[in-house]
Amino acid sequence: MAEEPVEPIEALELRCYFVRRRNCLLVRGTFTDLYLEYYLHLMQHGLEYPRRHDDMLKDAMAAIALHCGSRPHDETTAWTLHWQQPLMNLFVTGGGHPLCGVAGRVFVDEVRQMEHSLMIAQTLRRQQAPRQSMVEVHGDDVLGAVEQFYRQSEQRPTRLFRLPQEDFIQVSAEPDADLAWLESLETGQMATLDQREELSLLETRLVRWHCGCGLHRLYPMLLRMQDAELDEIFAGGFAPVQCPRCAARYQSQRDDFDRWRQSQSEA
């Protein structure tokens, strides 16, 4: 199985606007091409998720892409959404410039039962200490969970909207925002919002499905194992290795891993 990720068909363009007189930031994108790349990734690696899990993961990928579109270019974000019903974890990550790479996966095996559903966010930015925050979320809607995260952790009221044709919009409060207007927004209004509000284009950003994983990036996971464990997983001549970020599946020969391990010890 090839290590290289599938090249993007076409990058998704996010459009970032300032809503004048409302003091809000609006980010919008149509995710058809990103979803197509995601499905090609699933086919390439023999993956399949139940429909509900798949829909939730796609919403999470759209949400983190919109989030990245409203954040500094050098920031990378990872979200883990732990759900009690259904019992599962969603993981999504996004970041990079000039192309923002988005990837994600579903975890259903060995997911620990918790008292509440949770959203955990990890943020990295150059020359700054990593940040992590965790909030309790309610309901089973991904976009609703992200809105709760913004209110509790970011303390920045934000609304997310899923429109037809895989079009998504995020509207976030800036200083002195018209919060009553923000709270009053409804999905049915969003397609024609530009006819009622003055939107000023701030920038466009390009987004694609991209994890960047490969065997050499996943080998460090094997270094944590004892020699007896390595002998066991390589007993058939090949060891299965799965990416924790996008669930891509690889097969590694023992000789290849040993050569890589030797090169690391000599570095």
With helix as H, strand as E and coil as C, how does the chain read? CCCCCCCCCCCEEEEEEEECCCCEEEEEEECHHHHHHHHHHHHHCCCCCCHHHHHHHHHHHHHHHHHHHCCCCCEEEEEEEEECCCCEEEEEEEECCCEEEEEEEEECCCCCCCCCEEEEEEEEECCCCCEEEEEEECCCCHHHHHHHHHHHHHCCCEEEEEECCCEEEEEEECCCCCHHHHHHCCHHHHCCHHHHCCEEEEEEEEEEECCCCCHHHHHHHHHCCCHHHHHHHCCCCEEEEECCCCCCEEEEEHHHHHHHHHHHHHC
The answer to whether 84 and 49 have CB atoms below 8 angstroms apart is no
Residue 176 maps to a domain: yes
**Domains in the chain, number:** 2
- End-of-domain residue from the set 188, 209, 230: 209
Residue 1 maps to a domain: no
What range defines the domain where residue 257 resides? 215-266
- End-of-domain residue from the set 186, 209, 232: 209
CATH number of the domain where residue 220 is located: 3.90.1280
pLDDT of 237: 80
CATH number of the domain where residue 117 is located: 3.55.30.10
Quick one: 144 and 41 in the same domain? yes
Residue 2 maps to a domain: no
Quick one: 43 and 160 in the same domain? yes
pLDDT of 261: 87
pLDDT of 267: 63
pLDDT of 9: 59
Residue 186 maps to a domain: yes
pLDDT of 186: 97
Collect the ranges in the chain with pLDDT lower than 70. 1-9, 267
Quick one: 106 and 180 in the same domain? yes
